[in-house]
């Protein structure tokens, strides 16, 4: 847990959301927020196309804006890419990096994730760095080895406990409806903390470590009660504002 001691709930909308429906969803969330202020931190990461519109709606209701990726260069001839400074310019405070869908479908290695995180932190964004094992790796008892490799090689030298969040997302749990047992999650989070504490000397304190993968209103409370789980990274359930609000309430 970082200094604030607060849980954090992060919505990852992935490649979903057209303007009209998204504005409706946010209207619903805003209304809930303004009438029942939340005691946890809430971040919404819509696709790039919605950032400007969300920038006008989220902060005034107490929520923070995040993006789902950025390039590792500050600017230049990278057609189609978006830089960390552009996200900051759009009033983003957070950026998700190294999500397993990017590692899998866009061949992002931990080294690339690290370069992105370095630039994001330089631009004063909080980098939400995702790590997690595949089913094959889990079944072959490789989880700790894979997580250690990802943690060590994805986190840059300028990281500290307030500019980085680690999201542990088992790849096999994402969008599958399956999640590890609570004891397993506790063990894995504690392992990630140990690696950070013992091997990454840039950290004075361990940053927040959150869980992601098939989280829902039904399991949010139980997941948030696990020792060492500082919050949730929510995919599908964050697209429905009623479900997402229930999850926020579980963290209060
Ligand atoms: P899910 O996705 O909640 O739909 O499983 C989580 C994520 O990919 O961040």
Per-residue pLDDT reduced to its tens digit, 182-210: 999 999 999 999 999 999 999 999 999 99
**pLDDT, mean over the chain:** 96
99 is known as an active-site residue: yes
189 is known as an active-site residue: no
Q: Is 157 exposed, middle or buried (0-12, 13-18, 19+ CB in 10 A)?
A: exposed
Residues in contact with ligand 1 by the CB-under-6-Å rule are 12, 169, 174-175, 212-215, 233-237
b/e code 16-37 from CB counts within 10 Å (16+ = b): ebeeeebbebbeebbebbeeee
Q: Cα(38) to centroid of ligand 1, in Å? A: 22
Q: What mean pLDDT is predicted for residues 51-58?
A: 95
94 bridge partner residues: 66, 126
Q: How confident is the model at residue 39 (pLDDT cuts 50, 70, 90)?
A: confident
Atom of ligand 1 nearest to the CA of 167: 9
**Residues 157-170: pLDDT tens digits?**
999 999 999 999 99
Q: How confident is the model at residue 5 (pLDDT cuts 50, 70, 90)?
A: confident
Helix 143-154 vs helix 110-122: angle between axes, to the nearest 10 degrees? 40
Enumerate long-range contacts of 80-86, CB under 8 Å, 24 or more apart.
82/48, 83/119, 83/123, 84/116, 84/119, 84/120, 84/122, 84/123, 84/125, 85/123
Decide if 224 contacts 181 (C-beta within 8 A). no
pTM over 0.85: yes
**Residues 64-116: pLDDT tens digits?**
999 999 999 999 999 999 999 999 999 999 999 999 999 999 999 999 999 99
Q: Cα(215) to centroid of ligand 1, in Å? A: 7
Q: What mean pLDDT is predicted for residues 30-40?
A: 89
Atom of ligand 1 nearest to the CA of 176: 5
- Who wins on pLDDT, 128 or 252? 128
pLDDT of residue 1: 54
């Amino acid at each position: 847990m970082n200094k604030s001691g607060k849980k954090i709930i992060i919505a990852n909308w992935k490649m979903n959301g057209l303007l009209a429906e998204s504005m409706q969803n946010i209207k619903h969330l805003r209304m809930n927020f303004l009438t029942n202020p939340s005691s946890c931190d809430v971040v919404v990461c819509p696709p790039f196309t919605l950032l400007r519109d969300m920038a006008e709606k989220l902060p005034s209701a107490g929520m923070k804006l995040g993006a789902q990726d950025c390039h590792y260069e500050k600017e230049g001839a990278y057609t189609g890419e978006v830089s960390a400074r552009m996200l900051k310019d759009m009033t983003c405070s957070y950026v998700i990096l190294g999500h397993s869908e990017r590692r899998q479908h866009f061949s992002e290695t931990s080294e690339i994730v690290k370069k992105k995180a370095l630039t994001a932190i330089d631009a004063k964004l909080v980098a939400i760095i995702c790590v997690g094992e595949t089913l094959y790796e889990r079944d072959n008892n490789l989880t700790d080895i894979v997580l250690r490799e990802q943690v060590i090689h994805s986190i840059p030298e300028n990281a500290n406990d307030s500019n980085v969040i680690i999201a542990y997302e088992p790849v096999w749990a994402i969008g599958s409806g399956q999640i590890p047992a609570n004891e397993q999650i506790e063990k894995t989070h504690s392992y990630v903390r140990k690696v950070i504490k013992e091997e990454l000397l840039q950290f004075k304190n361990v940053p927040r470590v959150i869980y992601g993968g098939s989280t829902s209103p039904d399991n949010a409370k139980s997941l948030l009660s696990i020792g060492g789980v500082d919050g949730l990274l929510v995919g599908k359930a964050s697209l429905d504002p009623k479900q997402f609000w229930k999850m926020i309430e579980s963290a209060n």
